[in-house]
Amino acid sequence: MTTTSATADRSTGPWATALDQLTSACRVLGYDEGLQAMLATPRREMNVAIPLRCDDGRKMILRGYRVQHNISRGPGKGGLRFHQDVDLDEVRALAMWMTWKCAIADLPYGGAKGGVTIDPLQHTRGELERVTRRYTSEILPIIGPERDIMAPDMGTGEDTMAWIMDTYSVNQGYTIPGVVTGKPIAVGGSLGRTTATSAGVVHVTKAALADAGLGLADVRIAIQGFGKVGSHAASIFAAGGARVVAVSDMYGGVHNPDGLDLPALVAHVAATGSVVGFERAEPVDNVALLALDADVLVPAALEGVLTEETAPTVQARWVVEGANGPTTGPADKILVDKGVTIVPDILANAGGVVVSYFEWVQANQAYWWTEREIDDKLEHRMLTAYRDVADLSRRENLTLRDAALVIGVQRVAQAHQIRGLYP
Ligand code: NAD
């Protein structure tokens, strides 16, 4: 299949897409070249070697990255990705998107991202723990609860965050839960974090449908990716009355036009490790899934899956970007020309960083909120962000993506301008 993201081609990869998006937002905002260069340039980048002793005694060197794209509004914030295609340009793009995402959600954070070029499926838990701890120790000088706060992304999870927190805390000599978010509850994680990104995707989808006079019960939804984002989104959509007609993972997908039985599918995945082979559905591959007869398409796996080749085949009226950067620049234009409403990543999947913010606030004040409080605050933040973006989009006749970018870029630029340039 053709979903690999981190291409070596600098003219079409995610970093090129992110820079093009910034250019178009700066054009709308009338910013000069100097300001655009300030906003485009990552503030700090670390590129580290990670020596790993494998369980069988072999030694190998992996590469790890941490990019702090912008820290004008607060500490860097962003996930850590373990994937075999990770490279510096991909991490830069993801860090830039975090900057705009945090600003759109009005969080007191800049944007950052980390990655290690590793296929986590080829390594044991012990090896992954050693990679995580060595990576953390290599980037120790630039992270911390006031500097840069990591969270899970593709290929990492709450165990990874616990190892980072432990490594950082041991080095500092006391326990510092605020250095990461997405931790297990037992060591300072927040209620509601596991499902936060997915719940946020559902909140904005409902808001976008409501703008068209529809509700969840009126739509069929196809979801690419059945990991942390896709699987919970599927369950929440189904529980809300939507028909989830297709889902997929890296091994393939399953399709049932009458709607998938989500609890049974989740049980199947728990037992087999994949959606493939689920009995009450037909198989569908990851490219065909994008073209299915559905009302809402939720890419929730890798970036760069909606391309010049796949975008013309999309039948859905809404694309809600659970993944970061799933739509290339040319594909975005094709979809917009077809009349598809795209709820962009920097808005649609902001629920994760919003509840990460709640987790950080709780960790720093050592006082914990109830799940109800978190769910309510998340819904409020997501709907406020959606309304800001949708209102600007209507007022200025911009797509939701352009409106979201304009809001995010403008808030960051304001911070630059108010703070001034030192010296
Ligand atoms: P994950 O590792 O939990 O799940 C990824 C899913 O994608 C898995 O189902 C995997 O099988 C599938 N996948 C991997 N390679 C694929 C391929 N080539 N084709 C089709 N499917 C493939 O990751 P996640 O945390 O769910 O993240 C998914 C996306 O959402 C990423 O773009 C990530 O940056 C974005 N995101 C995640 C969060 C979060 O809180 N986890 C927040 C915001 C955005």
Ligand 1 atom nearest residue 4's Cα = 18
Known active-site residue 113: yes
The least confident of 44-48, 64-68, 300-304 is 300-304
The residue nearest atom 41 of ligand 1, judged by CA position, is 153
Q: Is 223 in the pocket of ligand 1 (CB under 6 A)?
A: no
pLDDT for the residue 27: 97
Q: For a substitution probing ligand 1, which of 100, 153, 289 has the most ligand atoms within 8 Å of its CB?
A: 153
Instruction: Give percent above pLDDT 70 in the chain.
Output: 97
Q: Residue 136 to residues 63, 76, 127, 165, 352: CA-CA distances in angstroms?
A: 12, 15, 14, 9, 21
pLDDT for residue 3: 30
Cα–Cα distance between 285 and 249 in angstroms, integer?
9
Average pLDDT over residues 305-320: 98
Q: Is residue 78 in contact with ligand 1, taking CB distance under 6 Å?
A: no
Residue 55 has pLDDT above 90, yes or no: yes
Axis crossing angle, helix 400-419 with helix 88-104, rounded to the nearest 10: 90
318: left (phi over 0), alpha (psi -120 to 50) or beta: beta
Task: For strands 111-117 and 59-70, give the pairing.
Answer: antiparallel
* From 12-21, 229-238, 404-413, the region with the lowest mean pLDDT: 12-21
Catalytic residue among 77, 113, 183, 206: 113
Distance (Å, rounded) from C-alpha 322 to C-alpha 419?
33
Which atom of ligand 1 lies nearest, measured to the CA of 305? 19
Both tokens assigned to 73: 């509004």
352 lines ligand 1 (CB under 6 A): yes
Q: What is the mean pLDDT of the chain?
A: 96
Q: Is 226's C-beta closer than 6 angstroms to any atom of ligand 1?
A: yes
Taking the centre of ligand 1 as the mean of its atom positions, its distance from the CA of residue 6, in whole angstroms, is: 14
pLDDT of residue 12: 72
Say how many Å lie between the CA of residue 343 and the centre of ligand 1.
17
Contact 227 CB / ligand 1 (< 6 Å): yes
Given a cut of 70, whether residue 364 has pLDDT beyond it is yes
Residue 166 near ligand 1, beta carbon < 6 Å: no
Distance of CA 4 from the midpoint of ligand 1 (Å) = 12
Q: What does residue 183 show for φ and ψ, rounded to 5 degrees? A: -80, 165
For the cut 70, the answer to whether the pLDDT of residue 5 exceeds it is no
Q: Which of 302, 353, 357 to mutate to test the pocket of ligand 1 (most atoms within 8 A of CB)?
A: 302
391-423, pLDDT tens digit by residue?
A: 999 999 999 999 999 999 999 999 999 999 999
- Nearest CA residue ID for atom 17, ligand 1: 250
> Is the CB of residue 249 below 6 angstroms from any atom belonging to ligand 1?
yes
Q: Is the CB of 323 under 6 A from ligand 1?
A: yes
Nearest-angstrom CA–CA distance, 267 and 257 = 20
Q: How far is ligand 1, taken at its centre, from the CA of residue 5, in Å?
A: 12
pLDDT tens digits for 144-177?
Answer: 999 999 999 999 999 999 999 999 999 999 999 9
Asked if residue 269 has its Cβ within 6 Å of ligand 1, the reply is no
pLDDT at residue number 16: 94
Please count the helices (runs of H) and the strands (runs of E) in the chain.
Answer: 14, 12
- What the block records as the tokens of 223 is 């979801």
Separation of alpha carbons 216 and 286, rounded Å? 24
Per-position b or e across 118-134, b if 16+ CB within 10 A of its CB: bebeebeeebbbbbbbb
- Which of 121, 161, 249 has most ligand 1 atoms within 8 Å of its beta carbon, as the pocket-test mutant? 249
Q: What is the mean pLDDT of residues 265-278?
A: 98
Ligand 1 atom closest to the Cα of residue 151 is 40
**Residue range 368-393: average pLDDT?**
98
Structure-derived torsion over alpha carbons of residues 11, 16, 19, 24, reported in degrees to the nearest 10: 70
Distance 237 CA to ligand 1 centre (A): 17
In this prediction, residues 69-94 reach a mean pLDDT of 98
pLDDT band of residue 8 (cuts 50, 70, 90) is very low
Confidence of residue 1 (pLDDT cuts 50, 70, 90): very low
Is residue 78 pLDDT above 70, yes or no? yes
Cβ–Cβ under 8 Å, residues 217 and 244: no
CA atoms of 291 and 332, how far apart (whole Å): 15
| pLDDT band at 7; cut points 50, 70, 90 | very low
User: What count of other Cβ atoms lies within 10 Å of the Cβ of residue 166?
Assistant: 18
Does the bond joining 423 to the residue before it have cis omega, within 30 degrees of 0?
Answer: yes
pLDDT number for residue 10: 55
Given this model, what pLDDT does residue 13 score?
A: 87
**14 Cβ closer than 6 Å to some ligand 1 atom:** no
Q: Is the CB of 356 within 6 Å of ligand 1?
A: no
Q: What is the mean pLDDT of residues 331-347?
A: 98
Q: What angle do CA 210, 212, 214 make, to 5 degrees?
A: 55
233-260 average pLDDT score: 98
Contact 298, 186 (CB under 8 A): no
Look at the alpha carbons of 316, 319, 325, 331 in this order and tell me if their dihedral is positive or negative: positive
**Average pLDDT estimate for 115-136:** 98
Q: How confident is the model at residue 26 (pLDDT cuts 50, 70, 90)?
A: very high
The pLDDT value given to residue 89: 97
Q: How far apart are CA 370 and CA 157, in angstroms?
A: 22
